[in-house]
């Protein structure tokens, strides 16, 4: 099957690399045009390299290489107005909006910075308030358009299972990350409830570890190398893989956007390689 989202337009946050880029490319492969936004800057409290404008430019090249249109710009999910600038330009050029992928995230969970209260606030600001800004900005446009739609929110298996087995893994960043991701479940169900009348579905996606720059960096490698063996028992996949690929999550996003999921809403979709079984 091809062209599953032909003629549709998706707004994706955190689109410069990792899962966000994979979502943009997978949807483009199936006929969607893309509005892509990313901060393309380093947050002071995040202990690994974040995305750059060059990363976002590469996403643009990949989507355009598939013959689809893309409007991309810098924006910070903590600042709703910066998102609106990119969204307005995208809708003006592409003509509509059908899907919203609230994907932007950070993971300041190891190192000295993770022990600071700033890590807690940064996690809530980006991954909870940032999702709120994204959805509040977009859902009225979906209602006005009157053709339904899908909102997919990137959560985590860390929302559904404890990520600390010893005090050694305790940090303000880990607490903030998991609290924000867990709160997204409630947030999405509330949106799903009142948007169902308009045929707008809202769901969260809960991956296990994903092979992206968010985990492949010195901060995480040092954290894992120095971890208590007991803490390494968190998020152990039943299917014997260390992590899944961003394309695996993108396939789930495609399904959530396609008509194949037209009655699937208010749900927490686990793409966890069976981690919840362990």
Token duo for residue 256 = 């959530």
pLDDT of residue 170: 95
Task: Give pTM, 2 decimals.
Answer: 0.97
Domain ranges within the chain, ordered by starting residue: 9-271
Task: Quote the Cα angle for 29-33-38, to 5°.
Answer: 100
Angle of the 130-145 helix axis to the 172-195 helix axis, nearest 10: 20
Alpha-carbon span 18 to 128, nearest angstrom: 19
Cα separations (Å) of 30 from 76, 180, 254? Answer: 27, 31, 8
Query: Is 191 designated active site?
Result: no
Show Cβ contacts of residue 229 under 8 Å, excluding neighbours closer than 6 positions.
Answer: none
- Out of 48, 139, 177, 191, the active site residue is 177
Residue 262 corresponds to which tokens in the numbers above?
């037209």
Strands 99-102 and 149-154: parallel
Cα 12 to Cα 87, 202, 228, 252, 272: the distances in Å are: 10, 15, 36, 15, 22
CA dihedral of 192, 194, 199, 203, whole degrees rounded to 10: -10
Give the H or E element holding residue 207.
Answer: strand 200-207
Smallest CA-to-CA distance from 105 within 215, 226, 269 is with 215
Q: What is the pLDDT of residue 2?
A: 79
Closest residue by Cα to residue 24 from 179, 233, 243, 32: 32
**Could you state, in chain order, the average pLDDT of each consecutive group of 10 residues for the chain (278 residues)?**
91 98 98 98 96 98 98 98 98 98 97 96 98 98 98 97 92 97 98 98 98 94 90 92 97 98 98 95
Query: Superfamily assignment of 9-271 in CATH?
Result: NAD(P)-binding Rossmann-like Domain (3.40.50.720)
How far is CA 103 from each of CA 12, 40, 106, 115, 240, rounded to the nearest angstrom?
7, 14, 10, 24, 26
pLDDT above 90 covers a percentage of the chain that reads 95
pLDDT of residue 124: 98
Structure tokens at 45: 């409290």
């Amino acid at each position: 099957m091809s062209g599953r989202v032909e003629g549709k337009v998706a707004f994706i946050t955190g689109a410069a690399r990792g899962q966000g880029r994979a979502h943009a490319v997978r949807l483009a492969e199936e006929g969607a045009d893309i509005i892509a936004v990313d901060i393309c800057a380093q947050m002071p409290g995040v202990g690994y390299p974040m995305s750059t404008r060059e990363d976002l430019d590469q996403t643009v090249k990949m989507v355009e290489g598939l013959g689809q249109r893309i409007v991309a710009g810098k924006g910070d999910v903590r600042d709703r107005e910066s998102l609106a600038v990119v969204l307005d330009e995208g809708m003006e050029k592409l003509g509509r909006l059908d899907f919203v992928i609230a994907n932007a995230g950070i993971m300041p969970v190891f190192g000295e910075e993770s022990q600071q209260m700033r890590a807690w606030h940064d996690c809530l600001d980006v991954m909870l308030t940032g999702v709120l800004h994204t959805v509040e900005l977009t859902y009225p446009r979906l209602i006005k358009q009157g053709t339904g739609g899908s909102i997919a929110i990137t959560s985590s298996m860390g929302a559904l299972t404890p990520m600390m087995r010893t005090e050694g893994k305790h940090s303000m960043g880990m607490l903030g990350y998991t609290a924000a991701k867990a709160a997204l479940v409630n947030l999405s169900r509330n949106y799903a409830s009142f948007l169902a009348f308009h045929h707008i579905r809202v769901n969260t996606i809960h991956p296990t570890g994903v092979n992206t720059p968010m985990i492949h960096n010195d901060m995480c490698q040092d954290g894992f190398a120095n971890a208590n063996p007991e803490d390494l028992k968190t998020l152990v996949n039943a299917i014997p893989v260390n992590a899944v690929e961003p394309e695996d999550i993108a396939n789930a996003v495609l399904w959530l956007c396609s008509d194949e999921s037209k009655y699937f809403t208010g749900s927490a979709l686990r793409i966890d390689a069976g981690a919840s079984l362990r």
